[in-house]
Chains A and B, each alone.
Chain A
């Protein structure tokens, strides 16, 4: 698997608050191939955002720590990089789009000033060249009258426009990997589709890999090649997109798929998974999903299931064929 651009191996992250420590990420493994769009799916609290911040090296320094594992980016482990070296990667080789376009842009600087920043940091370019590059990228993300926009402030733009600006910010240094953390959650439905379409095109044009973090399986179905399903700080299933929807192996994934509202049929009642994601300090022995799993049996509460592989389809469940209830 030499074509993987990002490999995460047995990542464990610890959060400290006061005297208490919790592990919101407990042994996460996955990899992202070159040119691939990988979806990371899970409810809030599953640890997907923490994982993405860890890749960016943006975990809060004082209160969190990577205690084990590695994040291998283009063949190098970046977990132990010095801040100075990490900075050369951020916004340059890996960039990130955040969830909230309304608050992710600085209100006191113009769009142009903010967009110049990655180029200033990572490229040796004159002011003129930077401005040209910025206008270029703004055009690429479909912002009209880019020459004027660069002199405007974030509050003068709509939410959709701001997210386009965020995308262009992430795009400026032509990164190898782009991480998008819920890029459309805060937007109107009509704008969502536009932004997704834009990201799809841009990914293709710029030959990037995309790590798409979302709770929305609809977005995943639209965008991704493969999917990682996270639950309570662990990965419970990894599969190619069609296979995941056709033949989900983990009861949690099945639950997520069943609770998707479908477009054509009007169901009697929307399915929902009962209960909530356990907080990191509530996790004990056994399968993390056992307390909410409709198929759980005694073994699930006693022993943590290992990862079972069926070709490239991985799942972490004792029931390896959930439809037939076959126990491994």
Chain B
């Protein structure tokens, strides 16, 4: 188990390291950052002066080494706009993103797992068919558009909820719904197919032959077995959820990392972009790490050797 944890931890480091490397070189290839600080008609000498001042005249590999050396210490430089510490700005926004993503994830699981279980249990009935139909349609709906439609309905028409911003629980409702809906369709599909697979297993028949009631058979036995593939699939899908969070934050002006990243891309505020990419890669790697441990926990064949 310890081996496993160490191995996965090393993988997290590699992911984060490579993500930073790629983005760093992309940014440098895209153009000279000095031009961003100065008006377009700045004289040559001034540009040169700035390049020297900021170290952009050094060879690329020196800049890269320098950047990595600082990044390891948590220093991604200062925001080009506000001159504040880039990582600090990103970290300030992190709680809001966590709040949104975790609430949505929990909501999605609470809707999707019972729905998937019921759909599998009542397979090929009208209920199941409607359920499957909805998941297929749901997968074709882009989250940002769903967000717009929710804003139109609940903010513009009914005037019940705010269309954006953050702070109060009321502000959370629409973004959470949007992000959760985005995952419900896929999670339901995972649960249904995992349950269908498990329900036809020999050991379910054994339990039935022992006189286990249907409800207990499904809730205790089949669901527990299904959790193994469900955890794997949901964990793989959390990248989609995290990506969805970035877009949802942009739609609802939710003050999280995603919106910050988007705005920084618009402003070409690259230190913040790098710090944001670092944090997103780190979060996603940690989520996968946790999912792996959870997976081992529910699967005795890995846990108990």
Contact = CB atoms under 8 A, between A and B. Distances in A.
Contacts, number: 81
A117 interface: yes
Interface stretch (A69-77, A86-94, A289-297): A86-94
B41 interface: no
Interface stretch (B22-30, B45-53, B85-93, B297-305): B297-305
Nearest to B205: A58
A156 interface: yes
A101 B208 CA distance: 16
A56 B224 CA distance: 25
Interface in A99-137: 100, 103-110, 114, 117-118, 121-122
Contacts of B224: 108-109
Interface string A126-169: 00000000000000000000000000110110000000001001
Given A83-B214, A153-B304, A106 B209 contact: no
B203 interface: yes
Interface string B211-244: 1111000000100110010000000000000000
Interface string B194-216: 00000001111111111111100
B11 interface: no
A106 B206 contact: yes
A211 interface: no
Contact of A107 (B124, B205, B225): B225
Contacts of A92: 211
- Of listed B203, B205, B206, B225, residue having the most chain A CB within 10 A: B206
Contacts of B208: 58, 90
B210 A90 contact: yes
Contacts of B213: 84, 87, 121
A316 B301 CA distance: 51
A194 to B, nearest CB: 21
Given A107-B225, A107-B300, A108-B299, A169 B202 contact: no
B206 A108 contact: no
A87 B217 CA distance: 12
A96 interface: yes
Given A98-B202, A103-B201, A108 B211 contact: no
4 interchain residue pairs of minimum CB distance: A91-B210, A91-B211, A106-B203, A103-B202
7 contacts: A98-B206, A107-B203, A107-B225, A108-B299, A122-B211, A153-B301, A169-B210
Interface of A: 56, 58, 62, 83-84, 87-92, 95-96, 98, 100, 103-110, 114, 117-118, 121-122, 152-153, 155-156, 166, 169
